[in-house]
Amino acid sequence: MLNHLNRLLSQRGSRDSARENTRLRYLGTIFYIFSVTFFIGFATLLVMSIIQLTGMIVDNADIVRAGTLGWALLIYPMVPAIIYGLFTIRGRKDGGKVPGAADNLSASALAVAMSRFLVKNPSWIPEDTEIRFISFGSEEAGLRGSRRYVERHLDELTRLDGRLLNIETVAHPEIRILTSERNGTVKVSPEIVKSAVAAAEGAGVPYKTLPASIGVANDAAPFSQAGLKATTLLPFQTPQQMVAFYHQRQDGPEVLTIEPLWNVLKLAVEWVRSGGE
């Protein structure tokens, strides 16, 4: 560690395996239709329960009956939603059977590649800057690894103006730079997004900025929630690649190609060279 640091830059991937998503494996693109049905069923049950509860509170039998699920609502959306809810994951034993080549050993491999590059080319590291390469565990179990890291190092990360470039599922040439995290509910620092965009343009790689959609939550979220500068690079195409291999047994080395890995590596090197600015 350098003695007089004024900045700390981090790059990371996650290494824990995911349980197999059998919904995606067997349903394909119909997965999205059933997902919408599931949420409609949940909302329907919630609304009808509130109506019945209101009827019981005011002691009105007509209101209670109005909140009773009839055959129409049972046929749709309730029964399909229940079946979909039961048709969930398999391969629970020993962490599951998903190889995880793209999600997210691809990012862990890039962290190793970056560390090797900087060891051989130390002149690319700005003065008074420490670089940390981190492969968090337990990302699939609720971002536990990154949350614990932030809890234990928050004072240090704040004092050193820590900045995180989080890399996730490197499988598509176009790099998505996220402007939010955790289903779009956590805003990330505009400054860090600007630095990632500048690095992408400096490296000459394709990119676009967009918020996290429903179902997207990465290890940059705990950093952003703590007020630290962090964003995620997500070179991943939905729904095509999600249906093809996401959290499935097909996520093996054969789904990886050189161009996405090379693009992210070039962006990351440029980002470090510029000091994360």
CA pair distance 199, 106, nearest whole angstrom? 20
CB 260 within 8 A of CB 170: yes
Closest CA to 27 of 43, 16, 38: 38
- Residue 251: per-residue pLDDT: 93
pLDDT number for residue 18: 75
Residues contacting 192, CB < 8 A, separation 6+? 163, 164, 165, 229, 230, 231, 276
Angle between helical axes of 79-86 and 30-58 (0-180°, round to 10): 120
* Domains in the chain: boundaries: 7-19+94-273, 23-90
pLDDT in tens, the chain (277 residues): 233 456 677 776 677 767 788 778 778 788 888 888 988 999 999 999 999 999 999 999 999 999 998 899 988 999 988 888 776 655 455 556 788 999 999 999 999 999 999 999 999 999 999 999 999 988 988 899 999 999 999 999 999 999 999 999 999 999 999 999 999 999 999 999 999 999 999 999 999 999 999 889 999 999 999 999 999 999 999 989 999 999 988 999 999 999 999 999 999 999 999 998 8
Q: What percent of the chain has pLDDT over 90?
A: 68
End-to-end CA, the chain: 21
CA angle 182, 208, 147 (to 5 degrees): 25
Coil, strand or helix: which one is 162? strand
44: phi then psi, degrees, rounded to nearest 5? -60, -50
pTM: 0.83
Residue 91, burial from CB neighbour count under 10 angstroms (0-12, 13-18, 19+): middle
Q: What is the fold of 7-19+94-273?
A: Aminopeptidase (3.40.630)
Whether residue 253 is preceded by a cis peptide bond, meaning omega within 30 degrees of 0, is no
Secondary structure (DSSP) of 123-138: GGSPTTEEEEEEEES-
- Give the alpha-carbon dihedral of 134, 139, 145, 149, to 10 degrees: 60
